[in-house]
Structure 1
Amino acid sequence: MQGVLLILYMLVVSGLIAVVGDRVGYRIGKKRLTWFNLRPRHTAILVAVVTGVSISALTLGTLLLLNRSLSEALFSYTNQIAQAEQELRALNRQKALLEAENAALRVERDHLKMDLDQFRSQQSAAQTRLSEVRDQLAVALQERQEAEAKLAAANEQLAKVQPSLDRAHAELEAVKAEVESARQVIATLESQKQALQLDRDQLERSLDVVQAALTQLENQKNQLEQEIEQLNQLAVRLRRGELAILAGEVLATGVVEAPRGAKPEAIRRQFEHLLAQAEQRALALGSQPMPPLENAILIRREDADQALEKLQEPGSWAVRILSVTNRLKGEPVPVLVQIYPNQRIFAKGSVLAHGVIQPGLSENQIQQQLLGLLNQANQRSQEEGLLSDPITGTVGEFSQVKFLEVVQHLRQSTTPLDVKLVADTDIYTAGPLRVSFLMAEASGQPGSSGAQQAGRPEG
């Protein structure tokens, strides 16, 4: 009711203001009055506008004064819109969270379905296993009944053969022990049966492997028979004295110097010179080139290139050219190249071996002691890195004449002599080993005559 009265009041007041404005405008227009230096017509329009504004202002002011809710809604409109937007964003976030939770629940549902399927598969496998266990249990029960039947039969036989109560009791205990042992034997046999079944399966699996190995052995047998035939042919030729070069025989030894900045052509010439020495040695031993080849030695291109590449590194290199296999007369010989750093092993004057030789020894005894010193020097040289002959294992030879001269000198001596093997020159990896026997009276002997030198190895 209050709202209706308010509306009626507003209509009446608006009408009065309109009438007043119209009358004022009429009089202004009739008297041709002007405001703000405007034309009368424009002044009348301005009065009409002011009248309308007054009506609107009065209406709005009355509503705001009489209705607090309308004033609050009008002035808090912006805040309400902001609050509504915040609530909308919050609702959107809740919606996103709910959608994520929904997706997670769907994934969890799929996982649960997979787990359910797996559980059903496990349940089916368990039921199958249960059936197998039941079958095994039935077999075990049957075996137990058979054992009990055997036990009953044994008890009957025991009762029939009892001559007396005491003896029967003793035999009964013995039979019980045997029955228990039989049960243990049965259990053992069952275990052995299972083990044998496993062994049988393993042997069946191994059968294919054995057959494959047998086939391989047959192939190896055929190959060995061919090799034996070749070796027999080689043996026949060896008996005829046709072997020219042994496997591992040194055909050439030398030193290739590669100073820093050396030209590759110079290094190649040194290497080719060693190959030429090996060629001459092979020809001298009876090897011959095989047409259309022109050389008696055969070296793979890859080996030669690798050797040249190694020799071009700065330094001094000991190079040996060796035969790869036994070769007969008239055959070419394949060779390989060995390269070692040519380092100084012994300085000039180094003592390689020494010992004291007593007077009064026989010639044979003196020779044995001197040979022992030579062997010591040979072994020490090889341990230090001196290249030895792959076939003989020695690093040089000693002149037989000078060796006998040393023996005669030692045999004629009447005092103990300290004999040393001394390096004549600096000795390097490539060799050869050149030493001399240096003899002096052992320390503590009167009338010492000083050291005497005799002989050196030739290699």
Structure 2
Amino acid sequence: MQGVLLILYMLVVSGLIAVVGDRVGYRIGKKRLTWFNLRPRHTAILVAVVTGVSISALTLGTLLLLNRSLSEALFSYTNQIAQAEQELRALNRQKALLEAENAALRVERDHLKMDLDQFRSQQSAAQTRLSEVRDQLAVALQERQEAEAKLAAANEQLAKVQPSLDRAQAELEAVKAEVESARQMIATLESQKQALQLDRDQLERSLDVVQAALTQLENQKNQLEQEIEQLNQLAVRLRRGELAILAGEVLATGVVEAPRGAKPEAIRQQFEQLLAQAEQRALALGSQPMPPLENAILIRREDADQALEKLREPGSWAVRILSVTNRLKGEPVPVLVQIYPNQRIFPKGSVLAHGVIQPGLSENQIQQQLLGLLNQANQRSQEEGLLSDPITGTVGEFSQVKFLEVVQHLRQSTTPLDVKLVADTDIYTAGPLRVSFLMAEASGQPGSPGVQQAGRPEG
């Protein structure tokens, strides 16, 4: 309703100004007045022009005065467009960071899955071993029951023999004539008694052996239960995601310069700076020192002495410090030192990979071809000796935003383009790999050849 009233108001005001202007022009023309030494007819035309300009100015001023949003849009349109473009670039950068974090989380999830499968296999083996121990315990218990039964039978047989011995003694006193036969009977009974005593002693010894075996099996059972409990605790920690550092993860990398005549203290200082970088990286990932030690990284003195001995040799050395095993949060991490000669692999301007991209391809097809070029450069760099990440196998990372800018440029092209990956600077063994996309019209195409440099990859 407010807009309708505004339009009606503008029409009424414009009509009134037009009537006033017409009347003023008519009167001026009738009186034949002159302004600025103009003819009366020209003066009337000037009055009509001033009246029209007044109508437009008054209309525009009224519209801007009554509609605040229109005035803001008219005077701040360029600033709003620039602000929107900045927000779009920031969102693209956040998207690239989120995709990189997503890839890292996927790699970490795969490693955790492998560790969980290994733990399950160990748990299954422990359960099998526990079942075997239980079977052995059952067999030992059965043997013990059999030994006790034999001992009871022997005692029963001994109890049965004892009355016969008493009767023989009575018959010996009562009947002198049967003394010899009674003595023989007594001797026989005595021999049987000794045999039964021997059997009883042997059964008691067997019972002691069985008891010792049972005690040993009980100890093994308790030890296995403790191992199972430790494995269960480890599994719980793995499920909670407390794995902080992976085996082979690079904690620090750098170059140690050892010119001829360099002092050992200077080389030691450079090496200690790399160890300090590794310490800070380990602490950032969640590793903690184990009292009474003060460092989160653990390196053997022999390894450190060998590394210093190697670095004292004249030359330029690429040094990497890697974790030896997977470590959980709060645990110190053992590390090892890798040393390589830091040689120049590619001079500045070297073409690492190239290919021709035809027009009319979809965005996905262009991305696949560009990724193929990046993989070629990555493989060639590793073959020439450029140090790669032991976990991912790559030698650098590329900005997703600039990569998409190259893709959009190729999609807008109407002619085949020759795309090259060129080294921005001299590339050494320690890296990193820094390249740019160079695009030019493919040879044999109409039009003058043009060369464009795409966004530089990062890392």
TM-score (norm 1): 0.51
The answer as to 2:456 corresponding to 1:446 is no
**How far did residue 451 of structure 1 move?**
1.2
Please list, as runs of the form range in 1=range in 2, the aligned pairs for 1:23-62 lying within 5 A after superposition. none
Select between 23-32 and 167-176 the one with higher mean Cα deviation: 23-32
Q: Deviations for 1:28-78, whole angstroms, at most 9, x for unmatched residues?
A: 999999999999999999999999999999999999999999999999999
Say if 1:158 and 1:168, in contact at 8 Å, map to a contact too.
no
Say if 1:398 and 1:458, in contact at 8 Å, map to a contact too.
yes
Say if 1:253 and 1:320, in contact at 8 Å, map to a contact too.
yes
The answer as to 2:242 corresponding to 1:257 is no
Cα distance change, pair 111–59 in 1 and its aligned pair in 2 (3 A): same
Please list, as runs of the form range in 1=range in 2, the aligned pairs for 1:30-429 lying within 5 A after superposition. 233-429=233-429
Say if 1:255 and 1:316, in contact at 8 Å, map to a contact too.
yes
Select between 382-391 and 129-138 the one with higher mean Cα deviation: 129-138
CA separation in 2, counterparts of 1:324 and 1:246?
Answer: 8
Q: Deviations for 1:213-238, whole angstroms, at most 9, x for unmatched residues?
A: 99999999999999987665433212
Cα distance change, pair 272–108 in 1 and its aligned pair in 2 (3 A): closer
| Paired residue secondary structure (1:156) | helix
Cα distance change, pair 242–147 in 1 and its aligned pair in 2 (3 A): closer
Cα distance change, pair 116–73 in 1 and its aligned pair in 2 (3 A): same
In the comparison of the two structures, how many residue pairs are matched? 459
Cα distance change, pair 156–369 in 1 and its aligned pair in 2 (3 A): same
CA separation in 1, counterparts of 2:360 and 2:42?
Answer: 166
CA separation in 2, counterparts of 1:413 and 1:51?
Answer: 53
Unaligned runs of 5+ in 2: none
Root-mean-square deviation over aligned CA pairs:
45.8
Cα distance change, pair 189–42 in 1 and its aligned pair in 2 (3 A): farther
Say if 2:347 and 2:425, in contact at 8 Å, map to a contact too.
yes
Cα distance change, pair 223–451 in 1 and its aligned pair in 2 (3 A): farther
Cα distance change, pair 255–49 in 1 and its aligned pair in 2 (3 A): closer
Cα distance change, pair 153–377 in 1 and its aligned pair in 2 (3 A): same
Cα distance change, pair 230–18 in 1 and its aligned pair in 2 (3 A): closer
CA separation in 1, counterparts of 2:89 and 2:420?
Answer: 107
Cα distance change, pair 136–90 in 1 and its aligned pair in 2 (3 A): same
Cα distance change, pair 309–78 in 1 and its aligned pair in 2 (3 A): closer
**How far did residue 111 of structure 1 move?**
79
Say if 1:321 and 1:338, in contact at 8 Å, map to a contact too.
yes
| Paired residue secondary structure (1:257) | strand
CA separation in 1, counterparts of 2:39 and 2:401?
Answer: 160
Amino-acid identity (%) = 98
Say if 2:165 and 2:189, in contact at 8 Å, map to a contact too.
no
Cα distance change, pair 219–424 in 1 and its aligned pair in 2 (3 A): farther
Select between 337-346 and 439-448 the one with higher mean Cα deviation: 439-448
CA separation in 2, counterparts of 1:217 and 1:380?
Answer: 60
**How far did residue 285 of structure 1 move?**
0.6
Cα distance change, pair 33–295 in 1 and its aligned pair in 2 (3 A): closer
CA separation in 1, counterparts of 2:80 and 2:405?
Answer: 131
| Paired residue secondary structure (1:457) | coil
CA separation in 1, counterparts of 2:48 and 2:362?
Answer: 164
CA separation in 2, counterparts of 1:203 and 1:152?
Answer: 10
**How far did residue 241 of structure 1 move?**
1.0
CA separation in 1, counterparts of 2:30 and 2:207?
Answer: 136
TM-score (norm 2): 0.51
Cα distance change, pair 185–250 in 1 and its aligned pair in 2 (3 A): farther
Cα distance change, pair 445–297 in 1 and its aligned pair in 2 (3 A): same
**How far did residue 88 of structure 1 move?**
131
Say if 1:435 and 1:455, in contact at 8 Å, map to a contact too.
no
- Deviating above 3 A after TM superposition, structure 1's stretches of 4 or more consecutive aligned residues are 1-235
**How far did residue 446 of structure 1 move?**
1.2
Unaligned runs of 5+ in 1: none
Say if 2:351 and 2:422, in contact at 8 Å, map to a contact too.
yes
Say if 1:359 and 1:411, in contact at 8 Å, map to a contact too.
yes
Cα distance change, pair 334–439 in 1 and its aligned pair in 2 (3 A): same
| Paired residue secondary structure (2:262) | coil
Cα distance change, pair 387–448 in 1 and its aligned pair in 2 (3 A): same
CA separation in 2, counterparts of 1:48 and 1:446?
Answer: 58
**How far did residue 180 of structure 1 move?**
73
Select between 197-206 and 242-251 the one with higher mean Cα deviation: 197-206
CA separation in 2, counterparts of 1:59 and 1:292?
Answer: 84
Q: Deviations for 1:80-117, whole angstroms, at most 9, x for unmatched residues?
A: 99999999999999999999999999999999999999
**How far did residue 458 of structure 1 move?**
1.7
Cα distance change, pair 17–429 in 1 and its aligned pair in 2 (3 A): closer
Q: Deviations for 1:211-266, whole angstroms, at most 9, x for unmatched residues?
A: 99999999999999999876654332121010110000000000000001100000
**How far did residue 450 of structure 1 move?**
1.7
**How far did residue 449 of structure 1 move?**
3.6
Cα distance change, pair 444–300 in 1 and its aligned pair in 2 (3 A): same
CA separation in 1, counterparts of 2:310 and 2:19?
Answer: 125
